[in-house]
Structure 1
Amino acid sequence: MRRDAAVEVSRLLAEDSAALQLETLSDWGGLERLLTRPRIQKPGLALSGFVKHVYADRLQVLGLTEVDYLLSIGETEARAGLEAYCKRKLAAMALTRGLEPPPPLMELAREHGIPVLRTPLMTSSFISRVTRRLEELLSPRANIHGVLVDVLGVGLLLIGRSGVGKSEAALDLVLRGHRLVADDVVEVMIRPPDTIWGAATQLHQHHMEIRGMGILNITHLFGVAAVRDNKKIEVVVELSDLHEDDYDRLGTENNNWPILGVDIPLVRIPLRAGRNISSLIEVVARNQILKFRGIDSAREFQEKIATHIAMTTGTATPSDAPEEASPRQVSGQITGLVSLGEVE
């Protein structure tokens, strides 16, 4: 796992400039300073010289209140407070509402090499946007070998050994009208509070490798509607050469695959000659949509079979029958019941 422990101020300027609308008033060579926390800080009492709780590795945001305060007091008093404030080796300051910085602030920022930024956004709006962006830039990240697709709005991460057919299945899904997010290398990250999002690396974005054909540009072949830049990962689909006893026949076992400490539901699809893997993957997405709505077909069927077994054997009443038979016991009886024509 890789974690971006710090972000340079220059990267914050380059990232998502349309949303933050930041401009550099003066940087004095300090744009390489590091931000290590996603939360911003408003100076408040720090402008009066009380700097005990000032965190230099946070972005300092000054709004109308701070600027009016500096302008309302004498320049000597303002300079004294700002001197103690700027000595904290701040990573950067950002003024909101397009405000003009007071002269003492710019002078002391230059003296201490602190970049001064400005945005026309209202303070509350800017804080919300920059906090969200810093959370993304500073969140834990990792690269996973797999293919990420958006099927019916559900993010499916296809995993399996190299050459198992993940890219071919994804290509078939694209032909069915679904969307590719990333092929081969999926960059995953945590978005608060505990969701996992995936995207392609900049080099691989919107491209796919098909053995025997080489690298394909999915956007050029199928249009922009066939791709998307990122997607929340909601199910992991493992394509593997499993034996019959290695997978859940009922689909009631709660299998998970951890990504960056977050458990994602796992579905294992055994590969067999002649199986339409892309159709099965599409059904996984449809079944997940039902689960989002509180409908679990496998568990409903399990309860129905368990009730039938309990009633025919006389071991329990309908009300407590589902608790009397485990999923494995039910699975063992299904084949016999079906062959006898007892289950409709």
Structure 2
Amino acid sequence: MASVSLKEIIDKMKLENLTPELDISKVKITQPDINRPALQMAGYFEHFEATRLQIIGFVEYTYMQGLTQEYKEEVYNKLLSCDIPVIVFCRELQPDPFFLQVALKKEVPILMTKKATSNFTAEIIRWLNVKLAPCISVHGVLVDVYGEGVLITGESGIGKSEAALELIKRGHRLVTDDVVEIRKVSDDTLIGSAPDITKHFIELRGIGIVDVKSLFGVSSVKDTQSIDLVIRLEEWDKDKEYDRLGLEEEHTEYLGNKIVCHNIPIRPGRNLAIICESAAANHRQKKMGYNAAQELYTRVQNSLARRRDEDDEE
């Protein structure tokens, strides 16, 4: 199961640790969802998702301030006895000393942030969704072309890296070469990134490893990119029928998400970089509502209709 260490969350979100006495090195967050324990403070613990990151905002804080000492002893002990990984107080709200005392006793880390509750909640959920998303690794090259994430796949040695290098020279950006880590961050979005060990490197047969960031500058690389289009390179087969109109789109599936896929036959003399650029621009145009293949089909149909009308008139 994917997890994020509490220390990484503290560093990323710039949180203040109010319980430095506790060892947080082994605390892990395994769910991207959060919980605001307002109902638990009122004594309702049915269906309580204790393993989520707990957030206390102004509403929960003011309710806690109005509790009697006797009730605080009861509800704080019951709440903090659950398997809670961490509690975050927003808006720099300071928990009362008794709450901190019970938290230390139950070994529940207490953190604090300056951010408003809604802003912090949105940010932590978005970030955790990316970090804890289902992930697979595929063989290919991911390039940002005109803002479209183009995943180039195909047999080893077919020319994926060379196509990516030419795209980089034409002003586009490399995300990863050889191994693409794909994360499903939502039902509609796949995000691709590079393993840390191969980030910004390209392997060119006959030359070796090339550091794209050093050769072409920081503007030639990118850490992550949504995957919008797949281009599958394959050897030219003269006996195979290839799509020449593009009226019907083919799809490939990763982690349950379908992505538009083009099968591009390779033969000497074809410029792969220009083909990838054209495919990305055409895909972007389709998303904006214009389909060139459909426009051609409409023109042909209109032309045939006009000819039929002229024949009828004669």
TM-score normalised by the chain length of structure 1: 0.84
The one of 5, 9, 16 equivalent to 1:8 is 5
Amino acid of the structure 1 residue aligned with 2:36:
K
Counterpart CA distance in 2 for 1:45 and 1:306 is 64
Change (3 A) 1:31 1:115: farther
1:165 match: 159
What residue identity is the alignment partner of 1:285? A
Structure 2 distance, partners of 1:69, 1:148, is: 50
Following superposition of structure 1 onto structure 2, how do residues 135-174 of structure 1 map, counting pairs within 5 Å? 135-174=129-168
The structural deviation recorded for 1:258 is 0.6
Show the counterpart of 2:51.
Answer: 57
8 Å contact from structure 1 (residues 82, 108) kept in 2: yes
Q: Are the aligned partners of 1:250 and 1:302 in contact in 2 as well (CA < 8 Å)?
A: no
Whole-Å separation in 2 of the counterparts to 1:189 and 1:196: 6
In 1: Cα distance, 2:60 partner to 2:287 partner? 46
1:290 paired residue among 285, 292, 304: 285
SS at match of 1:258: strand
Q: How many Å separate the matches in 2 of 1:237 and 1:306?
A: 30
Tell me which residue corresponds to 2:260: 265
Letter in 2 for 1:117: L
Cα distance in 2 between the residues matched to 1:239 and 1:218: 22
- Please state how far the C-alpha of 1:125 moved relative to its aligned partner: 0.8
CA distance in structure 2 between the partners assigned to 1:231 and 1:177 by the alignment: 16
TM-aligned CA deviation for residue 42 of structure 1: 0.9
Once the two structures are superposed, residues 139-195 of structure 1 have per-residue CA deviations (whole angstroms, 9 ceiling, x without a partner) of 111111100111111110000000000000000011111111111111111222411
Verify: 1:25 aligned to 2:18, yes or no.
yes
Paired with 2:177 and 2:71, the residues of 1 have a C-alpha distance of 59
Task: Give the distance between the partners of 1:60 and 1:165, measured in 2 at CA.
Answer: 49
Cα RMSD, aligned residues only? 2.0
Equivalent-residue separation in structure 1 for 2:214 and 2:5 (angstroms): 34
Worse-superposed segment, 71-80 or 205-214: 71-80
Residue 281 of structure 2 aligns with an amino acid whose one-letter code is: R
TM-score by length of 2: 0.91
Shift of 1:304: 3.1
Among 121, 124, 143, which residue is 2:118 paired with?
Answer: 124
- Cα distance in structure 1, aligned partners of 2:171 and 2:132: 34
- SS of match in other structure, 1:203: helix
Q: How many residues are treated as equivalent by the alignment? A: 308
Question: Which of 168, 171, 179 is 1:177 aligned to?
Answer: 171
Compute the displacement of 1:309 (Å): 5.7
Conserved 8 A contact 2:142-2:152: yes
Question: Match for 1:180: what amino acid?
Answer: L
> C-alpha distance in 1, partners of 2:96/2:267?
72
Q: What do residues 224-249 of structure 1 show as CA deviations (whole Å, max 9, x unaligned)? A: 11111111111100111142434212
Alignment of 1:1-344 (within 5 A): 4=2, 6-14=3-11, 17=12, 20-26=13-19, 28-244=22-238, 245-306=240-301, 308=303
CA contact (8 A) 1:208 1:218 kept: yes
Q: By how many angstroms is 1:31 displaced? A: 4.6
Q: Would you say the 8 A contact 2:29–2:52 is kept in 1?
A: yes
Shift of 1:208: 1.0
Does the 8 Å CA contact 1:67/1:102 hold for their aligned counterparts?
no
> Is contact 2:175–2:221 with CA below 8 Å preserved after alignment?
yes
Amino acid at match of 2:7: S
Contact map agreement 1:48 1:82 (CA 8 A) in 2: no
Moved runs in structure 1, 4+ residues, more than 6 A?
none
Secondary structure of 1:265's counterpart equals strand
Q: Give the residue type in structure 1 aligned to 2:107.
A: G
Whole-angstrom CA distance in 2 between matches of 1:156 and 1:54:
42
Task: Say whether the 8 Å CA contact 1:40–1:58 is kept in structure 2.
Answer: yes
Contact 1:41/1:61 (CA < 8 Å) preserved in 2?
yes
Which structure 2 segments of 5+ residues have no match? none
Paired residue secondary structure (2:230): strand
Q: Secondary structure at the match of 1:26?
A: coil
Write the distance in 1 (CA, Å) between the matches of 2:48 and 2:17.
22
How far apart, CA to CA, are the structure 2 residues paired with 1:300 and 1:161?
Answer: 34
| Secondary structure, counterpart of 1:139 in structure 2 | coil
In the alignment, structure 1 segments of 5+ residues that lack a partner are: 319-344
